[in-house]
Amino acid sequence: MLRLPQFQVESPDTVEGVVAALQRHAGARVIAGGTDILPNLKHFLDTPPVLVSLARVTALRGLQRDDAAGLLRIGAGVTLTQIAEDAQVRALFPSLAHAAGIVASPVIRNMATIGGNVNLDTRCRYVNQSEFWRGSIGGGCLKSEGNVCHVVPKGRNCVAAMSSDNVPVLISLDANIVLVGPEGRRVLPLADYFHADGVAHTLARPGEVTVELQLPLPAGPRRARYTKWSVRRSIDFPLLSVALRFDLATDSAHAEVLAAKVVVGVLGAKPRVVTRLDEALGKPLSDPAVARIVSEATHAQCKPLDNVPYEAAYRREMLRVYTRRGVEAMVAEG
Ligand SMILES: Cc1cc2nc3c(=O)[nH]c(=O)nc-3n(C[C@H](O)[C@H](O)[C@H](O)COP(=O)(O)OP(=O)(O)OC[C@H]3O[C@@H](n4cnc5c(N)ncnc54)[C@H](O)[C@@H]3O)c2cc1C
Ligand code: SF4
């Protein structure tokens, strides 16, 4: 049985109280649903003296459309079940409802929050193991107790994988993240929140808490989809993931593509936004050339690593397949 390390818990009921508690206790960590941080603590990947719980912060639980600002606002404490089932999210952002609805299992989605999902720790086959297991490979790695990387042996940076199902989708939908910390409130594009270091892969400043995700309301017709490959259809984290979004001239799969966005997860610590998709613009979405252009660009620009189970070369081939299938499924919607 894996035991938790000892820690104190504080449960403020305001965001300001959370920020103050984080400042009061060096090394304190936030806990929301606990579905990621508690397993990691059981693996002794961290031993914070204090967990600051968001359970009583009701201000983080709002999910509302703000027409004046042209946004859907999702509080960091909204659960993945709520997002998957919400009528507005399903109508306006179906790829997000889908991604939230296939995380883990119903019990986990009832506890798991979107704030926790966005701040999910990076994952690696060499680190998400018990302390005993890590001892058997010579005492861990850069992200645990050691000073080497087993994925890139001469690497200086940890390349553990950003494995959130929702992050690629949120970035494909141009989401912003709202943070509150000791220096106040700031808003930044979610795409800019991550950097390529699996040990500390977000740009959150000390004492900063995620309070909201903001999604710009669609300006016109759009198709969006999330495709995930995992070994089992439930419980498992993605071993590759692709979020697709196409803005169209009219609401038809035969309409011309005005804008295309593709975001890939589970590569390194940072999601990748695929570039050079211009060749697909102006073509009908239903033109097979669009699926080919987008899937070839994704395959060319994304190189999975041996940081999660299954061979990197196989996952790279599957990236091409899953991207193409994602476009074809959007066309099949008519
Ligand atoms: C068996 C199993 C399967 C899983 N499968 C998947 C999967 O398929 N896809 C997937 O995406 N995830 C998966 N997860 C991971 C996890 O359940 C989700 O990512 C979940 O959304 C995490 O949210 P949480 O509220 O439980 O986060 P917590 O565990 O409470 O926190 C996670 C991290 O985020 C930080 N944090 C939480 N809230 C905030 C905030 N508001 N501001 C700043 N930092 C914050 C915490 O300090 C911690 O570092 C799985 C977990 C388990 C146990
Ligand atoms: S990528 Fe390297 S340093 Fe990072 S967790 Fe995996 S083995 Fe450790």
Q: Which band of pLDDT confidence, cut at 50, 70 and 90, is reported for residue 139?
A: confident
Q: From the CB of residue 219, how many other CB atoms can be counted at a distance below 10 Å? A: 10
Mean pLDDT (whole number) for 128-132: 94
Q: Tell me, what's the pLDDT at 189?
A: 98
Least confident of 57-61, 133-137, 266-270: 133-137
- Number of the ligand 2 atom closest to the C-alpha atom of 150: 7
Tens of pLDDT, residue by residue over 249-258, are: 999 999 999 9
DSSP state, 199?
Answer: T
Per the listing, tokens 């050079």 go with 276
Predicted confidence (pLDDT) at residue 310 exceeds the cutoff of 90: yes
CA 39 to ligand 1 center in whole angstroms: 10
Query: How much is the mean pLDDT over the chain?
Result: 97
d(CA 2, CA 12): 28
Q: Which CATH architecture best describes the domain 58-119+161-216?
A: 2-Layer Sandwich (3.30)
CA 150 to ligand 2 center in whole angstroms: 6
Q: Is 180 in the pocket of ligand 2 (CB under 6 A)?
A: no
d(CA 169, CA 94): 10
CA 120 to ligand 1 center in whole angstroms: 5
Q: Which CATH architecture best describes the domain 222-332?
A: 2-Layer Sandwich (3.30)
Predicted confidence (pLDDT) at residue 1 exceeds the cutoff of 90: no
Choice from 46, 133, 143, 266 to test ligand 2 binding pocket (greatest atom count within 8 A of CB) = 143
CA 66 to ligand 2 center in whole angstroms: 41
Predicted confidence (pLDDT) at residue 242 exceeds the cutoff of 90: yes
CA 157 to ligand 1 center in whole angstroms: 23
Predicted confidence (pLDDT) at residue 127 exceeds the cutoff of 90: yes
| C-alpha of 297 from chain center | 21
User: Where in the chain is CATH 3.30.390.50?
Assistant: 222-332
Q: Which amino acid is at 232?
A: R
Per the listing, tokens 């899953």 go with 322
- Number of the ligand 1 atom closest to the C-alpha atom of 117: 21
Q: Tell me, what's the pLDDT at 46?
A: 95
Tens of pLDDT, residue by residue over 295-307, are: 999 999 999 999 9
Mean pLDDT (whole number) for 2-20: 97
Mean pLDDT (whole number) for 257-286: 98
- Number of the ligand 2 atom closest to the C-alpha atom of 305: 1
Choice from 159, 163, 266, 270 to test ligand 2 binding pocket (greatest atom count within 8 A of CB) = 159
Q: Which band of pLDDT confidence, cut at 50, 70 and 90, is reported for residue 332?
A: very high
Q: Tell me, what's the pLDDT at 185?
A: 98
Q: Is 134 in the pocket of ligand 2 (CB under 6 A)?
A: no
**Smallest Cα–Cα separation from 140: which of 153, 128, 127?**
127
Least confident of 13-22, 130-139, 291-300: 130-139
Choice from 46, 122, 127, 163 to test ligand 2 binding pocket (greatest atom count within 8 A of CB) = 127
Per the listing, tokens 């950003």 go with 162
Predicted confidence (pLDDT) at residue 229 exceeds the cutoff of 90: yes
Tens of pLDDT, residue by residue over 156-206, are: 899 999 999 999 999 999 999 999 999 999 999 999 999 999 999 999 999
| φ and ψ of 317, to 5 deg | -60, -40
User: Where in the chain is CATH 3.30.465.10?
Assistant: 58-119+161-216
Q: Tell me, what's the pLDDT at 334?
A: 85
Q: Tell me, what's the pLDDT at 161?
A: 98
Contacts 24+ apart (CB under 8 A), 185-189: 185/211, 187/214
Mean pLDDT (whole number) for 92-120: 98
